[in-house]
Structures are given as structure tokens and as C-alpha cells.
């Protein structure tokens, strides 16, 4: 690797910031390590207040021209970015797999195509954005969406490019300029996105990427007086700091935070489907904010559900995420592995029972052999299901963000809903039932931003997305994204007062 470039599986990645259309280095760097094999992927420019302010200044300078760019031209450029993503789809998939440990097959088949779709969708939505004029006593009301200004977008490490473009695409479509701050554990595809955007013809300063630690540059970005919108995805403690920083200038914020979502399995459900839905929660090694980590099963079918679940879980293959046969890859970082393991150990000490899993993959039996046959162990944590957990226990109430599920039973709808809603979070919920009337009754009572019935993780960009309670503030997606990234204006015109222009 050179001083400012690295190569990941044959793909060249610039390790500097992208500010105002130029690559900018920092005096210091941080080391990006792959969770796949522990290799050093690169030394990444470690942003300071200087680079953070420069990025905001570049976004501010580029804003007037970008805001004045006709909708059709903005849409054309967004589609060009989508084309660029599709041309480099394989490169993006490989780099992201090395950077965050998620399955390569998932990146190829679903994640990176969805990245391109994010840009195409909001390009199309921009051209459809309209509100019919309406009358008030002979006066005409016209609603418009005006670009708000520079936006700071802070994104997480579990789905780096997908969740970044979920914010970047609507912000750019809205006519805003962007400063993107990717997570320090997975910064590489954000750098590639900057190259793709430049290659697509996006004007300099419209999309800026600043890398570094949130503790060092976060407050500079979120507290900057020239920032007009902040969108953050991450933890509740960090969100509190973001909100406090933004409050100084009353900067609007959108916060997508953690979850402790339930999966409710009723006795009338298709138990094979319910077991499949439950096993699906181990996707991305459980590092999914939407994951239904609390399995709530009607008591009369709990034993049968558990049997079907464990049969399916036993077929999951844990290993190298580059291998197409792997179902569960590593977690992203040693600190994350320690966090997950700590949650499980404390739960077991508190009386929980591990039906499957319950130990680190690198633990050893008394005979000295590895507990699961994984070569090297690495950052793998096995799929785990815990029973015998108390409702107020840490493992039930706090987000683990790993392949760890709990199972509790209930005896009726009222108890099911009470248990489902009994957390500080409200991001999502999943319901398995064979009774449409029950589905309507239960979903109406659940506190969640998204509820799936007999399915999971079906996401349409036309729908609002966000959480209730500590799972977030605001909704994005479809027109809701434009409502956030724009200043909405209502212009009222009287019936008289026009000059006669013949």
C-alpha cells in the first residue's frame, strides 16, 4: 500500500478524505483491520476539526449552485451515480466484505444492488414530488420543498454503504449538499462512493467524506452553525450527544437508533414459517438493528417451535464470509465480540439456559479440542438461544447486537402484547399468526415503527422508516425523506392584485 492508497482484494481505495472535490490527507491515521482474517486493510486519514470544518465549508460553498440545479438534472446525476455503483458492484461487494465481515454473497445479490436502487428511487421520487394546490376562501395555497442546506450524515458499520446511501441519496435529491462521516470500523466503501460520485459528474463539494473518530470530530460537525440537517444511525448514548450538540443551533436531527424487537409466535401460526423467521434473525451475525431478538411464543406450541427452530439453526454454517456456503460470518471487531460474550455470560450467571450456543467460538473443551470446529475461531460467535430469562433482565432489555436470541412464552394476546412492548425501544416487531383478525388486533397495539406479519425485512423505499421511544426520532423514506431534508414552504396567493399585462 502507498502512503494514501491501499489495495483490498485487488481493489484500489484512497485512504484520504474527499473534500471539495479533492483528496485531503491528515497528519495522523487510524488502522482499519479486517474482521475476516485480521489483516490490516489500510491506514486511514484520521480527521481533525480542521478537516471537519473544511468539509462543511466545501458543502456550504457548493450549496447555492446545487440547490439551483433543476430537478431533472439532479435526477440525471443521481442515476449516473447508480450506474457507477452497478459498474463497480463486484469491487464494492468485495471491499465491504473485507471491511465489515458480512457475507460476500449478500453484498453481491442484495446489498450493493440496493445501494444503486437507493439513488434511482430518490431520483424518480424527486421528479414525482408534488402537492396539489388547494383553495382557502379564493386564495391559492402552493406547497413546495426547498433545499435546506449542508447536511451531516453519520453512518454505522453494520451495513456501511447501504445505510450511507439511504441518507445520501435523498439528501442530494432534495438539493442539499452532504458531509458524510462513515464509521471508523468500516470506512472504505464511503471512499469508493466519493470516487463514483465524482466520476458520475457530481459537482465538487456536493458530496464530501470525512473519516475519523466520532469523539474527535463529531461535535465539530454536528455543532457547526452552517449545518442545516443531521441524520445519525447508531447507539442511544451517541445520539444523545448528537442531539445536545445540534441543539446549540436548533439543527433538525433524524435519529435511527437501537432496537430490542419482538417476534410474536401464536399457536395458530405456521410453525415452519415462524421458525424460519426466527433463524433469519441471525443474519449478519445478528448485527442488525431491526433484528427480532426477543422470541415470544404461545405456551402451547413452545416446545414444538423450539424443536423446529433448533433443527434449522443447526444447519447454519458459520465461517469465512467470502465462502458462498457460509451463513454466518464474524462479528466486526474484538470489542464487539467481548460485548456479546459479556451479555451472554452475565445472563447465564443470572440463571438463563443456553439451548444452543452460549459460548465464544474460540472456547475449548476440557479435552483441548475446539468447541465448534472453526479453524482459527477469529471473531465468530455461535448462534445462541437463551431461555429461562426474566423480563426485566439485562439480556431481555438491552440491545446485544450479535447472534443472540431469547425465548419467552405467553398465554394470550394481552400477555404477548405486554411483553412485546415492555422495553425502552420501539423500532420493529414481527408477528406470526394464521388469523388475519388477530394480526390486525395485535399490530394495532404494538409500539414499533415497522411491523411485519408472517414475513421479515421487506423494505420498500416508499414507506416511512424510523423508531419509537429510544429507537429514534423522525421518519425517513419516500416523501418523508424530502420532508426532513427540505424546508417546506406554503405560498398563499390572493385572488386580486395582479397588474393587467394584457
Are 250 and 59 in contact by the 8 Å Cβ rule? The answer is no
Whether 289 is a known active-site residue: answer yes
Alpha-carbon separation of residue 394 from 234, 258, 337, 425 (angstroms): 20, 15, 17, 13
Whether 486 is a known active-site residue: answer no
Residue 32: which of 189, 171, 141 has the closest Cα? 189
Residue 97: which of 137, 53, 37 has the closest Cα? 37
CA 119/CA 363 separation, integer angstroms: 44
Q: Which of 91, 96, 184, 289 is catalytic?
A: 289
CA 410/CA 426 separation, integer angstroms: 20
Angle 278-443-411 (CA atoms, 0-180°, nearest 5)? 65
Half-sphere exposure of residue 473, counting CA atoms within 13 Å on the CB side?
14
> Between β-strands 425-426 and 468-469, what pairing exists: parallel, antiparallel or unpaired?
antiparallel
Q: Which of 91, 96, 184, 256 is catalytic?
A: 256
Sign of CA dihedral 234, 261, 281, 405: positive
CA 448/CA 471 separation, integer angstroms: 9
Sign of CA dihedral 309, 387, 234, 48: negative
Burial degree of 67 (CB within 10 A; 0-12, 13-18, 19+): middle
Are 112 and 89 in contact by the 8 Å Cβ rule? The answer is yes
Residue 41: which of 155, 187, 183, 161 has the closest Cα? 187
Q: What are the two backbone dihedrals, phi and then psi, of residue 164, each rounded to the nearest 5 degrees?
A: -65, -45
Give the end-to-end CA distance of the chain in Å, rounded to a whole number.
71
Q: Tell me which residues are annotated as active site.
A: 256, 289
Amino acid at each position: 500500500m502507498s502512503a494514501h492508497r491501499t489495495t483490498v482484494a485487488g481493489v484500489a481505495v484512497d485512504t484520504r478524505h474527499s473534500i471539495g472535490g479533492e483528496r485531503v490527507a491528515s497528519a495522523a491515521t487510524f488502522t482499519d483491520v479486517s474482521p475476516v482474517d485480521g489483516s490490516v486493510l489500510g491506514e486511514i486519514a484520521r480527521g481533525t476539526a480542521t478537516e471537519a470544518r473544511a468539509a462543511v465549508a466545501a458543502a456550504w460553498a457548493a450549496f447555492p449552485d446545487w440547490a439551483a440545479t433543476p430537478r431533472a438534472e439532479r435526477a440525471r446525476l443521481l442515476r449516473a451515480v447508480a450506474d457507477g455503483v452497478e459498474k463497480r458492484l463486484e469491487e464494492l461487494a468485495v471491499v465491504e466484505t473485507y471491511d465489515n465481515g458480512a457475507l460476500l454473497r449478500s453484498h453481491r445479490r442484495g446489498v450493493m444492488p440496493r445501494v444503486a436502487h437507493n439513488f434511482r428511487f430518490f431520483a424518480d421520487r424527486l421528479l414525482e414530488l408534488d402537492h396539489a394546490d388547494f383553495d382557502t376562501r379564493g386564495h391559492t395555497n402552493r406547497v413546495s420543498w426547498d433545499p435546506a442546506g449542508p447536511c451531516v450524515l453519520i453512518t454505522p458499520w453494520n451495513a456501511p454503504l447501504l445505510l450511507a446511501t439511504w441518507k445520501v441519496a435523498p439528501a442530494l435529491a432534495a438539493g442539499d449538499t452532504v458531509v458524510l462521516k462513515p464509521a471508523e470500523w468500516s470506512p472504505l466503501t464511503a471512499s469508493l462512493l466519493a470516487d463514483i460520485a465524482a466520476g458520475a459528474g457530481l459537482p465538487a463539494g456536493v458530496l464530501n467524506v470525512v473519516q475519523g473518530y466520532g469523539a474527535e470530530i463529531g461535535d465539530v460537525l454536528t455543532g457547526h452553525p452552517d449545518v442545516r440537517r443531521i441524520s445519525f444511525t447508531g447507539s442511544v448514548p451517541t445520539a444523545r450527544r448528537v442531539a445536545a450538540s445540534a441543539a446549540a443551533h436548533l439543527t433538525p436531527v433524524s435519529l435511527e437508533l437501537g432496537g430490542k424487537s419482538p417476534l410474536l409466535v401464536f399457536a395458530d401460526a405456521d410453525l415452519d414459517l415462524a421458525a424460519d423467521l426466527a433463524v433469519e434473525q441471525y443474519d449478519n451475525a445478528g448485527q442488525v438493528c431491526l433484528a427480532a431478538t426477543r422470541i415470544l411464543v404461545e405456551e402451547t406450541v413452545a416446545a414444538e417451535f423450539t424443536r423446529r427452530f433448533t433443527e434449522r439453526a443447526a444447519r447454519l454454517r458459520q465461517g469465512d464470509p467470502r465462502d458462498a456456503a457460509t451463513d454466518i460470518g464474524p462479528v466486526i471487531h474484538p470489542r464487539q465480540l467481548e460485548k456479546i460474550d459479556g451479555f451472554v455470560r452475565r445472563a447465564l450467571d443470572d440463571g438463563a439456559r443456553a439451548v444452543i450456543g452460549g459460548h465464544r467460538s474460540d472456547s475449548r473443551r476440557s479435552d483441548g479440542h475446539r468447541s465448534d470446529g472453526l479453524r482459527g475461531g477469529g471473531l465468530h460467535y455461535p448462534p445462541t438461544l437463551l431461555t429461562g430469562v426474566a423480563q426485566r433482565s439485562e439480556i431481555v432489555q438491552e440491545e446485544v447486537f450479535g447472534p443472540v436470541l431469547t425465548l419467552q412464552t405467553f398465554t394470550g394476546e394481552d400477555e404477548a402484547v405486554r411483553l412485546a412492548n415492555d422495553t425502552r425501544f420501539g423500532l420493529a416487531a414481527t408477528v406470526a399468526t394464521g388469523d388475519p383478525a388477530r394480526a390486525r388486533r395485535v399490530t394495532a397495539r404494538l409500539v414499533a415503527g415497522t411491523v411485519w406479519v408472517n414475513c421479515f425485512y421487506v423494505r420498500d423505499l416508499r414507506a416511512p422508516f424510523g423508531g419509537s421511544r429510544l429507537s429514534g426520532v423522525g421518519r425517513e423514506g419516500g416523501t418523508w425523506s424530502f420532508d426532513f431534508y427540505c424546508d417546506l414552504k406554503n405560498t398563499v396567493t390572493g385572488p386580486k392584485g395582479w397588474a393587467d399585462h394584457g
